[in-house]
Structure formats: C-alpha cells, structure tokens
C-alpha cells in the first residue's frame, strides 16, 4: 500500500509517462490483426467465408476449393495469364499435343477424317524432367530407401495430431506414373469423383476399371481405403486408355473426337498424385484425425498448404522445391480487361516482371470472415490486399455517371485503390423442371406459360436492385466471351424481346397476359377448373437480402396474376428435391470449366438430366432435335459451320424456354496500389504465382490509415486525476486529523 504522502506524486508520474507509453506503441497499429514481425514480410492477406470441403484433386469441384487446389496441384496445361481469348499453354508439359485420330484398328487417320470415321483420339503428353514434389512426410525415406511413415505403429500414430507433427519430410521427382495414378483414382468408387460419370464416356477403359474396383470392394467389404495400406494398390490395376511410353511421356486414348478434352487437362482433376500419398493417408490412425488428402494436399505447384484451420486461418507458403517457371513476356491487354482508369502506366507495369522466376509472394494468409462488412472494413484499413464489392459497400466504392459510366468514389481514389472489371463466363438462371406436369413439357400450352413468365420477370430491374447493375441479361445459355455467343439483334430471344432503336426491349405485360390466356390460364386461373394458378419456387437461404429477393420475385408473378409460393428448405433437402425432380422452379448457376460452348449447352442435353443420371441438366430438359444438334456440335472445331449449329440450338432453346430468365455477372475487383501484376482471368485458377506485394509500402499506408487517436485517453487520464484530487485531499485531511489526535493523546 502506498503511503498517503506518496499517492498524489505517484498519480502525477503516471500522467507524465502516459504519452511516452503511447509513443512506444505507434510503430505497429494497435488494431493490426497480424503479428508485428510480419510488418514488412512478403505476405499476401486475404479471406475466406466457407471451409473448403475437398482438397483432393479427384474430388474437389467448388470455387472456394480451387483457390487452394489451383496453387498446389499442377495438371499438364494451364491458361495464359495475360492473353484473351483464353489460350491454353503448357504447365508441366513441354508442349500442347495435337490429337491423333485412329480407326477401329488403331490405325492413324488423316486430319480431314469425318467424325464417323474417328473411333479413337490419342493425346501424347511429354512432361518436363526434374520437377520435384513439395516436402511431405509421405515421401520421407531412410538411407536404405524405406519410407519412414508408411507402416506406422499405433504408438507412433498416437503422437501425431496434425501433419506438421511429423519430424521428417521428403521429396522426389515427378513422373508420368503419377498422372496415370490420378486418372485411375477418378474411376475408384471409394474416391467418388464428380467427373467420373462424364469421363467414363471418353477415357478408354475408365468404366471397366471402375467396375473392377467396385467388384473388389463388394467382395472385400473391410477394405476401406484406396491404397496398399488401406485397400487397393491402384498401380496393380491396368487402365487400357492410358499408356506410359517412358519416364516423362504418357498417352491418353479417348473414344471418338472430342476437341474439348484438352481443356480438362488444365484442371486439378488431372494433376499428379504420388502413390506414396495414397498409402500414407490410408492408415486408419491418421484418417481418424482427419489427416487425409482432403485436408493436407501434396503437389508440385508453387505453394503448399501449411496451416488448415478452417475455423480461423488457412496458410499457404512457397514450395521450396518449385521448378523454374517464368513470368509471361507477352500480353494482349487491349483485347482483354483494362483498368477502368485509363492508366497507361498500369499496362506497362503488367509486363515489368517479364522473364522473372515465379512465384513472387512468399506466403498467403487466408482468415475466416463470415460477414462482408468485416472484410470491407479490413480492406479499407489495409489489412486485406484486395476485395470484392458487396451490395452493402457498393455506394461507398462506386460512382455511376449520367451516361452510366462507372468509376471509383473519391474515397477510393484518395487511397490509391485500383479497380478492374470483367464479365464472368457464368450464367445464373431461374429454371423450370421440365418433368413437372404444370410448367414442364414441350406442348404449345406449356411453352406459352413459360414464355409469359419469362416476360414478366424483369431481369433488368433485378440486376439494378440486387446486383447494383453489375451484370447483363441472359439471352441464351452461352455467356459473353465464349464462342457461339451472338451480340445484337441476332442474339436476342425474339419470344421475350423486341429489337427497337438498336436495343432489346422486353415485351409488354399485356403480351404476357395474352400468352397466359392461350396457355389455358386466363387471369391466372385454370380455364377448366377455375382455380387460381399457384406455382412453387424451391430455394435455400435466409436473411433480409434473400427475403427481399423472394418478395420481388413474387411481385413479378403477380403482374400476370400468378401466385408464387416460396418453399425455402435446407441445402440437403433442396439437393434431394433436385435429384428426385420434385422441385417445380428454382435458381441455378454455372461457371465455365473451360472456354467452349459445349460446357454450357450440355446443361440442356437430355442424357445429362439431373433425375436418373445425376447430370448437370438441372431442368431435366430433353428435346430430341436439340440433342441431335448437340451431338453434332460437340465434336466440331470452332468456325462458321459450328456457329450455325449453335444458332439452331439456341433458337430451339428460345422456343422451349426451360430457363425463365437469368444474367451473366460482371465481376468488380478492388486492389490496393501495393498489390501488383493484377489482371482478371476468369478461366485460369492458378494465378497467385504471378502476383506481387510491396510490403514496405503497405506497412507505411497501414500506419497512416490506422493511427491511434490518443487524445480521448489523455482527456480520460486528466479526468481521472482531477476526479481523484478531492479523494486525495479528504484522505490527507483525515490522516492529518488522526495524527494530530494521536500527538495530543501522547502529550496528555
């Protein structure tokens, strides 16, 4: 306890030292969510909102997963980062192979051979030597070449909690056997790859391998893994359609002519997996702790996942064994996406690193953020290097001129923030279940009902209200930027739009009501029974934004006197309804896997129906004429002849209208000026290696934007000290009185 004579000087000393305490804290902002030691480190900071479910390349097929798998795994091909139209180039391969067409006897055919003559297509792929895997315990060996962790004892496995607990790691050279092993995994029933069904139609022997493995599992129900340690050693099962020619060359043989197959070879599905990883991860003690390929990937790419904590952070670091790859030395920016600010310097900077080895960034930290507003605020503070623009932050970030020109707000300009935009190769649509007895079918009445609804749904208004104008109205299944898309009058749906003064104009509600009469529903009532027409829209989600969209959608139907009932269910229930074909209307979307119209038109191909085959044709649309044209179109090279076939297919789509309305989103990206080499590429999924961070500049601006405001604390300190003075005076007076009384007592 302080003596009473020292209390007041002590308070004064605290007040005196407060400013010096604050000054010592100003080097790193007090609200900085990252460690002070990372202040000037070459680290990219970003966020994620949903835990990636699959990081196994044979299983992963979601956009929130490709953020990671695209940087870790390396299929043989990739897309050129700085070129549009999207251009396929080698990644681990040496060049892009030209398919060799074969007859029934596997004899080569001429390039001019017709599709009917072509029985097989062969792709011979040669990869670069000396490519190494990232360091990983599955590849660790002792001096004799025995793998250290392939047959671990229970005691050893009990000491392991996460992958980093393994003391030893190893690496080895990539060979074509690893590519073959991954293709076999696509056929493994235990892996359950989402593209097996589609690929089994093309890769020779894939279906037979699947049947062989399924029979093995049936006869050996206790074999739960897909490796030598847990079940099947895939190396011992042949795949007739894939042949190893030498250590660095392999051949894939597919049925018929399928030019789009080469695009699939740029996706993680066809990235290599070493057999050692399958053996390692199949150990039951590790699987029980979620130490699996789905959680800890292994690849040859520029980055490796070092922290997987989906409740807080996911971290990728530079692969120390990454092979030599150089930044592109050419670009066609004028044909691609340019900065909205006409900044010529920005275009010059995009090639400033030409010929330099990749990657530039040492580490990437992804933090869990469930709310858009939190991401936005941290971006403005400089704690995230890039951000999208949500509806909540649109008005703060964007200004729209009188003529519709889009520019950054003054606040963004003051922060030197850059904005880049591009139209995504994506289509979101409201679909009809074509198996439904009311809205489905190909009768004239059903077509007119769907057309009336399509006219009534004002998609232009929806884009303005719910997307801040960031999108273009869907006229057909193919989005802009993909071969087959038609602009102008030739590209509009004539059943829903008229072409007036050089612009499409949605047909009137009066026309929609007339079509409803012709469909047998005058004034929204069944002409036979007199009952009102009630339609059902199945959806998932909740919250105020979703409610507003549902209310708006009901309003669109009410314009033609149709009552719309929203059936909002959880995601699993919704998926079940889609699989069984019990949903009547719904919203769906598709982002291009590869830049070819086949990847969108197959969403309407009868044999790909969701019901019965679990295909991607969510509407279960089946028109024999459309399907015949699709079979003809899918194997054609791009050109006038193929365009003509596509135009016929789109015309059938316009007439049948299995999709009521939709839009193609326009993507807006904001980037701080210390974030370099940014060029939107909606097809490439491995672009992180090209980007760079100027960490010292970032630290400087973070400090400027996050200066602590000390004066409220100083004022509070003064108030506390001033408030304590009466207490001190009373205390001292009371103590003085006690001392005087004590002295008087002693004298008396």
What pLDDT digit, counting tens, does each position of 686-735 carry? Answer: 999 999 999 999 999 999 999 876 667 777 777 777 777 777 777 777 77
Position 406 scores a pLDDT of 86
Is 50 exceeded by the pLDDT of residue 383?
yes
Name every residue whose Cβ is closer than 8 Å to that of residue 323 and which is 6 or more positions away in sequence: 128, 130, 131, 132, 300
Q: How far apart are CA 42 and CA 729, in angstroms?
A: 57
3-state helix, strand, coil in the chain (%, to 5): 35, 20, 45
Is 70 exceeded by the pLDDT of residue 366?
yes
**Phi, psi of 601, rounded to the nearest 5 degrees:** -70, -25
**pLDDT-derived band at 272, boundaries 50, 70, 90:** very high
Position 403 scores a pLDDT of 67
Is 80 exceeded by the pLDDT of residue 162?
yes
Q: How far is CA 93 from CA 86, 386, 681, in A?
A: 18, 32, 21
Residue with tokens 């789509």: 653
Position 392 scores a pLDDT of 84
Position 345 scores a pLDDT of 66
Is 70 exceeded by the pLDDT of residue 136?
yes
Exposed / middle / buried, residue 270 (Cβ in 10 Å: 0-12, 13-18, 19+): buried
Position 182 scores a pLDDT of 98
Position 30 scores a pLDDT of 78
The predicted model gives 389-406 an average pLDDT of 85
Q: How far is CA 105 from CA 109, 254, 313, in A?
A: 11, 14, 55
3-state secondary structure of 298: coil
Q: How far apart are CA 582 and CA 575, in angstroms?
A: 10
pTM: 0.83
Q: How far apart are CA 139 and CA 150, in angstroms?
A: 9
Position 528 scores a pLDDT of 92
Is 60 exceeded by the pLDDT of residue 181?
yes
At 384, list the tokens: 């995230």
Of 361, 267, 372, residue with least CA distance to 315: 361
* Other Cβ atoms within 10 Å of 146 Cβ, number: 10
3-state secondary structure of 515: helix
Position 21 scores a pLDDT of 46
At 266, list the tokens: 């740029």
Is 80 exceeded by the pLDDT of residue 433?
yes
More confident residue, 334 or 434: 434
The predicted model gives 293-299 an average pLDDT of 96
Q: How far apart are CA 601 and CA 633, in angstroms?
A: 10
Q: Distance between alpha carbon 52 and the CA centroid of its chain, in Å?
A: 10
Of 34, 15, 732, 71, residue with least CA distance to 381: 34
The predicted model gives 141-165 an average pLDDT of 94
* Other Cβ atoms within 10 Å of 139 Cβ, number: 22
Exposed / middle / buried, residue 347 (Cβ in 10 Å: 0-12, 13-18, 19+): middle
Q: H/E element holding 206?
A: helix 206-219
485 contacts 478 by C-beta, under 8 angstroms? yes
- For the chain, the average pLDDT equals 89
At 739, list the tokens: 């001392």
Name every residue whose Cβ is closer than 8 Å to that of residue 279 and which is 6 or more positions away in sequence: 138, 147, 150, 227, 228, 229, 233
What pLDDT digit, counting tens, does each position of 559-573 carry? Answer: 999 999 999 988 889
- Determine which of 11-15, 102-106, 134-138, 477-481 has the lowest per-residue pLDDT on average: 11-15
Position 491 scores a pLDDT of 95
Position 24 scores a pLDDT of 45
Is 90 exceeded by the pLDDT of residue 5?
no
Report the b/e string of 10-30 with b at 16+ CB within 10 A: ebeeeeeebeeeeeeeeebbe
697 contacts 674 by C-beta, under 8 angstroms? yes
* Other Cβ atoms within 10 Å of 480 Cβ, number: 16
Position 422 scores a pLDDT of 87
Which residue spans within 563-653 are E strands per DSSP?
563-568, 585-591
Of 250, 245, 229, residue with least CA distance to 184: 250
The predicted model gives 627-648 an average pLDDT of 94
The predicted model gives 317-340 an average pLDDT of 77
Position 725 scores a pLDDT of 73
Q: How far apart are CA 345 and CA 1, in angstroms?
A: 67
**pLDDT-derived band at 68, boundaries 50, 70, 90:** very high
Q: Peptide bond before 85: cis, by omega within 30 degrees of 0?
A: yes
- Determine which of 25-34, 220-229, 498-507, 629-638 has the lowest per-residue pLDDT on average: 220-229
**pLDDT-derived band at 336, boundaries 50, 70, 90:** very low
41 contacts 363 by C-beta, under 8 angstroms? yes
β partners of residue 132: 173
What pLDDT digit, counting tens, does each position of 533-561 carry? Answer: 999 999 987 666 788 999 999 999 999 99
Q: How far apart are CA 276 and CA 278, in angstroms?
A: 5
Strand pairing report for 585-591 and 534-539: parallel
Q: Peptide bond before 359: cis, by omega within 30 degrees of 0?
A: yes
Is 60 exceeded by the pLDDT of residue 375?
yes
At 381, list the tokens: 């503070």
Is 70 exceeded by the pLDDT of residue 13?
no
Percentage, residues of the chain above pLDDT 70: 90
Position 141 scores a pLDDT of 97
Q: How far apart are CA 316 and CA 73, in angstroms?
A: 13
The predicted model gives 54-62 an average pLDDT of 93
**Phi, psi of 79, rounded to the nearest 5 degrees:** -100, 140
61 contacts 195 by C-beta, under 8 angstroms? yes
Q: How far apart are CA 507 and CA 499, in angstroms?
A: 10
Is 90 exceeded by the pLDDT of residue 489?
yes
Is 70 exceeded by the pLDDT of residue 361?
yes
3-state secondary structure of 287: helix
Q: How far apart are CA 77 and CA 252, in angstroms?
A: 14
Q: How far is CA 151 from CA 136, 184, 241, in A?
A: 16, 23, 32
Q: How far apart are CA 625 and CA 142, in angstroms?
A: 63
* Other Cβ atoms within 10 Å of 45 Cβ, number: 21
Q: How far apart are CA 544 and CA 22, in angstroms?
A: 42
β partners of residue 663: 428, 473
The predicted model gives 382-400 an average pLDDT of 92
Is 90 exceeded by the pLDDT of residue 63?
no
């Amino acid at each position: 306890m302080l003596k009473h004579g020292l209390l007041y000087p002590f308070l004064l000393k605290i007040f005196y030292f407060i400013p010096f305490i604050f000054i010592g804290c100003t080097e790193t902002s007090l609200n900085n969510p990252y460690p002070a030691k990372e202040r000037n480190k070459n680290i990219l900071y970003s966020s994620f909102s949903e835990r990636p479910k699959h990081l196994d390349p044979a299983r992963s097929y979601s956009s929130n997963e490709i953020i990671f798998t695209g940087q870790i795994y390396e299929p043989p091909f990739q897309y050129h980062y700085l070129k549009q139209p999207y251009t396929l180039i080698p990644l681990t391969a040496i060049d892009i192979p030209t398919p060799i067409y074969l007859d029934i006897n596997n004899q080569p055919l001429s390039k001019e051979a017709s599709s009917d003559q072509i029985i097989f297509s062969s792709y011979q792929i040669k990869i670069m030597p000396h490519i190494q895997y990232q360091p990983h315990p599955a590849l660790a060996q002792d001096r004799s070449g025995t793998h250290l962790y392939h047959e671990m004892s229970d005691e050893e496995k009990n000491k392991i909690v996460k992958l980093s607990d393994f003391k030893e790691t190893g690496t080895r050279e990539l060979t074509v056997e690893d590519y073959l092993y991954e293709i076999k995994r696509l056929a493994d029933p235990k892996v359950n790859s989402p593209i097996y069904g589609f690929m089994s139609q093309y890769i020779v022997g894939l279906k037979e391998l699947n049947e062989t493995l399924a029979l093995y599992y049936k006869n050996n129900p206790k074999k739960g893994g897909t490796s030598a340690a847990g079940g099947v050693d895939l190396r011992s099962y042949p795949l007739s359609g894939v042949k190893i020619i030498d250590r660095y060359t392999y051949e894939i043989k597919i049925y018929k002519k399928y030019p789009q197959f080469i695009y699939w070879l740029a996706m993680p599905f066809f990235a290599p997996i070493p057999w050692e990883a399958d053996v390692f991860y199949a150990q039951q003690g590790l699987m029980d702790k979620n130490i699996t390929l789905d959680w800890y990937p292994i690849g040859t790419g520029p980055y490796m996942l070092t922290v997987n904590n989906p409740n807080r952070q996911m971290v990728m670091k530079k692969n120390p064994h990454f092979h030599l790859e150089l930044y592109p030395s050419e670009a066609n920016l004028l044909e691609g996406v340019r900065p909205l600010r006409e900044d010529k310097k920005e275009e010059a900077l995009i090639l400033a690193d030409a010929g330099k080895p990749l990657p530039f960034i040492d580490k990437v930290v992804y933090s869990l953020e469930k709310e858009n507003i939190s991401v936005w605020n941290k971006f403005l503070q400089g704690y995230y290097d890039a951000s999208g623009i949500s509806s909540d932050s649109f008005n703060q970030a964007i200004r729209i001129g009188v003529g519709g020109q889009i520019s950054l707000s003054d606040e963004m300009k003051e922060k030197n923030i850059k904005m880049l935009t591009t139209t995504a190769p994506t289509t979101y649509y409201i679909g009809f279940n074509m198996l439904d007895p009311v809205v489905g079918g190909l009768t004239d009445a059903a077509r007119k009902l769907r057309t009336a609804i399509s006219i009534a749904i004002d998609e232009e208004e929806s884009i303005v209200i719910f997307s801040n104008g960031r999108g273009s109205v869907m006229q057909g299944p193919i989005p802009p930027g993909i071969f087959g898309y038609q602009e102008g009058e030739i590209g509009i749906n004539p059943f829903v739009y008229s072409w007036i003064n050089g612009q499409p104009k949605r047909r009137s509600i009066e026309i929609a009501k007339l079509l409803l009469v012709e469909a047998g529903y005058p004034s929204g009532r069944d002409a036979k029974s007199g009952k009102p027409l009630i339609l059902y829209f199945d959806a998932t989600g909740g919250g105020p934004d979703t409610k507003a969209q549902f209310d708006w959608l009901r309003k669109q139907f009410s314009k033609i006197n149709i009552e719309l009932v929203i059936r909002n269910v959880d995601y699993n229930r919704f998926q079940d309804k889609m699989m069984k074909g019990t949903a009547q209307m719904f919203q769906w979307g598709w982002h291009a896997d590869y830049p070819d119209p086949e990847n969108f038109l197959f969403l309407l191909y009868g044999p790909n129906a969701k019901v019965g085959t679990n295909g991607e044709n969510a509407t279960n649309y089946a028109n024999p004429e459309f399907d015949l044209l699709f079979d003809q179109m899918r194997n054609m090279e791009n050109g006038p002849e193929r365009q003509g076939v596509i135009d016929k297919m789109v015309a059938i789509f316009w007439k049948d209208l299995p999709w009521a309305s939709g839009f193609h989103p326009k993507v807006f990206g904001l980037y701080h000026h210390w974030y370099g080499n940014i060029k939107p590429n909606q097809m490439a999924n491995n672009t992180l290696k090209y980007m760079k961070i100027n960490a010292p500049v970032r630290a400087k601006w973070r400090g400027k934007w996050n200066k602590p405001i000390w004066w409220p604390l100083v004022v509070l300190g003064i108030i506390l000290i001033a408030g304590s003075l009466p207490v001190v005076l009373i205390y001292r007076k009371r103590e003085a009185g006690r001392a005087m009384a004590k002295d008087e007592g002693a004298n008396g």
